Amino acid sequence: MTQEKIAVVLFNLGGPDKAESIRPFLLNFFMDKNIIRAPLPIRALVARAIANKRTKNEAGTSYGFMGGRSPLLENTQKQADALQKYLQNTQGAKAWKCFIAMRYWHPMSDETARAVAAYNPDRIVLVPLYPQFSTTTTWSSLQQWRKAADAIGLDKPESLLCCYPTEDGFVQASAKHVRATYDAAIAAGHTPRILFSAHGLPEKVVKDGDPYQWQCEQTAAAIVRAAGLDNADWMSCYQSRVGPLKWIGPSTDEALEQAGRDKIGVIVYPHAFVSEHVETLVEIEIEYRHKADELGLPYFGRVNTVMDAPDFIAGLAKQIDLRLNGEKIAAHDNQPSICPAEFSQCCQRRGQDLVNRKHQQKAA
């Protein structure tokens, strides 16, 4: 009997692969209408201005610390390889192949869609490597994937894991990393404050109904419980602000300043990231560590992301198996929308339009 072929497409942000790629990567990023919500002519002007300015800065600083390139693709490939191996070992009745679709740099959705079409799977499962849903990440990646798949006529049963902010495997892997870093601080004679630092968003995006901030806060609380740190000092904060708009807060800079006033050490866990890249290896490890030193914090520790931790990979595999029951969008464990009603941009509420459009195209 022929094995059923399953393609698993992992969505991620992407990053420049050499110094010359920094500007086009940033231009792709800021041209995304989900990032800068302005008409195309204005968005193009703003995107070029920001990309030009940040290219000069980041070539010598953020990406300069990493040799002018991001390690995100290699790290995502490690996760894809670990997930494919786990699926083959545990669900060998099916043939599994994992693909990567980056949003703003190669391999992007058009390249990946062609590779998936060549594989000719029976079904496709889309898995964002963004645990918490946002219109600026998962939704943007899904739109780009749908456009690329439609363009080449890739028409296979397809389902999406829209979010997994409190999925057990992700939470357990995170809790182990947080607990280990916390215990190291205790062993060094410090009781630290835990800063759960997520990538920020303009406040306007959240006010428009994006559930990202709410989901990030749910993740932090779940990790604290799983790590047995219910009585610990912890807080949520947000990093990587860009541009003049008001962003959600408090910022990680503000959290560090507060820790300085409180004369307490910190450990920082980037709980909205699942792989190491510029925001973890440079912004947290180098820039925030330097700021903590300037502020006189008695201790600073960075918690590693989950990467290919066994619990995390097993958790993703479980969710993929649950997705293999028809064309649908679902949160982890096939839950109905986990977001309160005020979050109108919830993926399950918005995403049904994309599912319906695909079925309409089939009917036509």
pTM equals 0.94
- In the prediction, which pLDDT does 352 show? 62
Over range 124-129, report the average pLDDT. 98
Distance CA 32, CA 136 (A): 8
Q: At residue 363, does pLDDT exceed 60?
A: no
Ligand-binding annotation for 279, yes or no, is yes
Distance CA 165, CA 130 (A): 9
pLDDT interval class at 354 (50, 70, 90): low
Alpha helices in the chain (DSSP H): 22-31, 40-60, 72-90, 109-119, 140-151, 168-187, 203-207, 212-226, 252-262, 278, 289-295, 310-323, 347-350, 352-363
Which residues partner with 7 through β-bridges? 97, 124
- In the prediction, which pLDDT does 358 show? 60
Q: At residue 73, does pLDDT exceed 90?
A: yes
Query: For the domain 4-14+70-166+309-363, what is the CATH code?
Result: 3.40.50.1400
Which residues partner with 267 through β-bridges? 194, 301
Domain ranges in the chain are 4-14+70-166+309-363, 19-66, 171-302
pLDDT interval class at 59 (50, 70, 90): low
* Residue 98 vs residues 5, 124, 265, 317: alpha-carbon distances, Å: 11, 10, 40, 11
Over range 109-121, report the average pLDDT. 98
Q: At residue 364, does pLDDT exceed 60?
A: no
Q: At residue 94, does pLDDT exceed 70?
A: yes
pLDDT interval class at 288 (50, 70, 90): very high
Which residues partner with 330 through β-bridges? 161
Residue 328 near residue 292, CB atoms below 8 Å: no
What is the domain class of 171-302 according to CATH? alpha beta
Instruction: Give the tens place of pLDDT for each residue, 77-90.
Output: 999 999 999 999 99
Which run of H or of E encompasses 94?
strand 94-102
Give yes or no on whether 4-14+70-166+309-363 and 171-302 have one common fold. Answer: yes
